[in-house]
């Protein structure tokens, strides 16, 4: 029986991009359905009744929610190479730790970098750069976070880079100057087909952000 | 495996640290316990968990790791006896989803205890709604893990012992036994488990700790 895989997505979402990269890495055929946040579909509300958020991976009718959870699920079900998580339990714990760090820090701070104003924005910018520098330190001289191979932490972080241009414009930041190694890593990741296919062009993200701010009277 | 090989850096009253202890004991893994004074953090803690500077930290040989749910997965993958997570990938994905929600709920319940006014009412209402969803999850089962305590039971363990203290101090009810009879049953089964019942934090110290944290919160927020 062929697998039926549907992804409920919203194209500017970094979390949705993570899942797309994972599916592409594994060469999984899937149907991508775009959600409209002004009018969430009944399918989304049925598949993720608790949070009502994307991404949701629906595999043969059964939903898996939370992007990092989905990456692990994909890796466990389609357990052929390339592996997204390492096989060693300690290395897996480290990968999960950094995935969790990214979710706890990057997400909560970044919104205020492009939407915030005044003191709140300044503080968020400072924390955001500190967070990127911590990640840069963890990367070290390795080509990818997991070492020689592209993996879980790279998948977790790379989508946010499609938003860097937007953060730089609204936050008056220069991310390459602050975190040159991270930007080099990002360019390396973008050479992978799975990443290039899954990330929208940064200018498209900026266009979305600009429209969002105008619509909500935040410009 | 000798007890020198595994060390747990923890705080007596931490609900998330206690999960790790329960997991090690259920698997029969010997370990050295190191108590951390979280009001006066040691150099050891700052060295082992420089990113978050929090307990619990598990040290296994030369390897150290933080974040209780991540530690539980490491323990389950390293010591195969008494499996904690389900076998099937879909069930595992569900367990991870609910465990994360458990931590968000615990934070919500804690905030409801500490905050006042409209903010408190909002957080309390959200916590009650999530609790009612958890009731649907456990329905018909002795434990979240089925017949035995598993990963998700350990994740929800804070409901059994910590939540009642927070409810008392906060003069609130997050878990209504009439609306959540299955969770109430589960609490009894969980607390009666031989490994769990000998491994619970002292109530009087939990109460003092909560009062101290509430006082600290209002002294630092008074300036606003």
Residue A27 lies in a domain: yes
Which chain B residue has the Cα nearest residue A76?
Answer: B89
| Structural domain for A65, as ranges | 5-77
* pLDDT tops 60 at residue A125: yes
pLDDT value of position B222? 64
SS3 A78: coil
pLDDT value of position B224? 40
SS3 A13: coil
Q: Which residue did the predictor score with more confidence, A106 or A64?
A: A64
For residue A77, give how far its alpha carbon lies from the nearest alpha carbon of chain B (Å). Answer: 7
Residue A84 lies in a domain: no
Residues of chain A contacting residue B63, judged by C-beta atoms under 8 Å apart:
90
d(CA A63, CA B90): 9
What confidence tier does A31 reach under pLDDT thresholds 50, 70, 90?
very high
Q: Hey, of B29, B53, B89, which one would you mutate to test binding to chain A, going by the most A CBs within 10 A of its CB?
A: B89
* pLDDT tops 60 at residue A1: no
How many structural domains comprise chain A?
2
Q: Does a cis peptide bond (omega within 30 degrees of 0) precede residue A205? A: no
Residue ranges covered by each domain of chain B: 6-78, 89-218
Task: Tell me: do A192 and A94 sit in the same domain.
Answer: yes
* pLDDT tops 90 at residue A18: yes
Task: Tell me: do A163 and A103 sit in the same domain.
Answer: yes
Residue A100 lies in a domain: yes
- Beta-sheet pairing, B32-35 with B6-10: parallel
Q: What tens digit of pLDDT does each residue of A48-58 get? A: 999 999 999 99
CATH code: domain B89-218 is: 1.20.1050.10
Which chain A residue has the Cα nearest residue B131?
Answer: A50
Query: What mean pLDDT do residues A57-79 have?
Result: 97
Task: Tell me: do A209 and A108 sit in the same domain.
Answer: yes
Residue ranges in chain B modelled with pLDDT below 70:
1-4, 222-224
Find the CB nearest A100 among B70, B92, B130. B70
Task: Tell me: do A27 and A113 sit in the same domain.
Answer: no
- Which pair of structure tokens corresponds to residue A4? 């039926």
Is B6-78 in CATH node 3.30.930.10? no
Cross-strand pairs, B60: B6, B63
Which chain A residue has the Cα nearest residue B77?
Answer: A89
Q: What tens digit of pLDDT does each residue of A146-174 get? A: 899 999 999 999 999 999 999 999 999 99
Q: Hey, of A90, A95, A133, which one would you mutate to test binding to chain B, going by the most B CBs within 10 A of its CB?
A: A90
Task: Tell me: do A127 and A187 sit in the same domain.
Answer: yes
* pLDDT tops 80 at residue A73: yes
pLDDT value of position B3? 52
**Chain A contact for B78 (CB, 8 A cutoff):** yes
pLDDT value of position B221? 78
The CATH number given to whatever domain includes residue A32 is 3.40.30.10
Relative orientation angle of helices B158-170 and B181-192, to the nearest 10 degrees: 120
Residue A83 lies in a domain: no
Residue ending a domain, choose from A53, A77, A101: A77
φ/ψ of residue A51, rounded to 5: -100, -20
C-beta of residue B190 within 8 angstroms of C-beta of residue B153: yes
Task: Tell me: do A59 and A96 sit in the same domain.
Answer: no
Residue ending a domain, choose from A77, A107, A122: A77
CB contact under 8 A, A96 and B73: yes
Exposure of B189 by Cβ count < 10 A (0-12 exposed, 13-18 middle, 19+ buried)?
middle
Cross-strand pairs, A56: A8, A65
CB contact under 8 A, B89 and A66: no
Q: List alpha helices for B8-88, DSSP H.
A: 15-26, 43-48, 68-78
Task: Tell me: do A152 and A205 sit in the same domain.
Answer: yes
Residue A14 lies in a domain: yes
pLDDT value of position B223? 44
- Which pair of structure tokens corresponds to residue B60? 């296994």
- Which pair of structure tokens corresponds to residue A66? 């939370």
Using alpha carbons, list the distances in angstroms from residue B115 to A189, B63, B170, B209, B215.
Answer: 44, 38, 9, 16, 11
Residue ending a domain, choose from A35, A54, A77: A77
d(CA B78, CA B81): 9
For residue B199, give how far its alpha carbon lies from the nearest alpha carbon of chain A (Å). Answer: 26
């Amino acid at each position: 029986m062929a697998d039926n895989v549907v992804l409920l997505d919203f194209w500017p979402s970094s979390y949705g991009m993570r899942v797309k990269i994972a599916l592409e890495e594994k060469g999984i055929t899937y149907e991508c359905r775009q959600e409209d946040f002004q009018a969430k579909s009944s399918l989304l509300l049925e598949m993720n009744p608790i949070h009502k958020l994307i991404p949701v991976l629906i595999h043969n009718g059964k939903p898996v929610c939370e992007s990092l959870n989905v990456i692990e699920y994909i890796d466990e079900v389609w357990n052929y190479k390339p592996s997204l998580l390492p096989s060693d339990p300690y290395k897996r714990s480290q990968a999960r730790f950094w995935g969790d760090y990214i979710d706890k820090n990057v997400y909560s701070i970044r919104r205020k970098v492009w939407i915030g104003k005044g003191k709140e924005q300044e503080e968020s910018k400072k924390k955001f750069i500190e967070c990127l520098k911590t990640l840069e330190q963890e990367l070290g001289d390795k080509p990818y976070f997991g070492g020689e191979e592209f993996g879980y932490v790279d998948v977790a972080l790379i989508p946010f880079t499609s938003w860097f241009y937007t953060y730089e414009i609204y936050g008056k930041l220069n991310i390459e100057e602050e975190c040159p190694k991270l930007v080099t890593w990002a360019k390396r990741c973008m050479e992978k087909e799975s990443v290039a296919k899954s990330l929208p062009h940064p200018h498209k993200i900026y266009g979305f952000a600009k429209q969002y701010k105008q619509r909500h009277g935040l410009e | 495996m000798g007890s020198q090989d595994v060390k747990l850096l923890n705080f007596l009253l931490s609900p998330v640290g206690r999960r790790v202890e329960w997991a090690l004991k259920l698997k029969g893994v010997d370990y050295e316990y190191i108590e951390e004074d979280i009001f006066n953090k040691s150099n050891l803690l700052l060295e082992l968990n420089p990113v978050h500077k929090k307990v619990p930290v598990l040290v296994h040989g030369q390897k150290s790791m933080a974040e209780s749910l991540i530690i539980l997965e490491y323990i389950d993958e390293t010591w195969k006896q008494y499996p904690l997570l389900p076998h099937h990938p879909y069930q595992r994905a569900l367990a991870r989803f609910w465990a994360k929600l458990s931590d968000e709920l615990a934070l919500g319940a804690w905030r409801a205890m500490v905050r006042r006014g409209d903010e408190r009412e909002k957080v309390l209402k959200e916590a009650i709604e999530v609790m009612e969803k958890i009731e649907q999850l456990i329905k018909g089962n002795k434990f979240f893990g089925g017949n035995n305590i598993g990963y998700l039971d350990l994740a929800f363990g804070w409901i059994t012992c910590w939540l009642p203290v927070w409810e008392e101090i906060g003069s609130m009810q997050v878990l209504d036994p009439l609306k959540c009879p299955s969770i109430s049953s589960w609490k009894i089964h969980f607390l009666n488990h031989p490994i769990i019942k000998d491994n619970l934090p002292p109530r009087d110290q939990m109460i003092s700790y909560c009062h101290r944290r509430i006082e600290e919160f209002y002294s630092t927020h008074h300036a606003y």
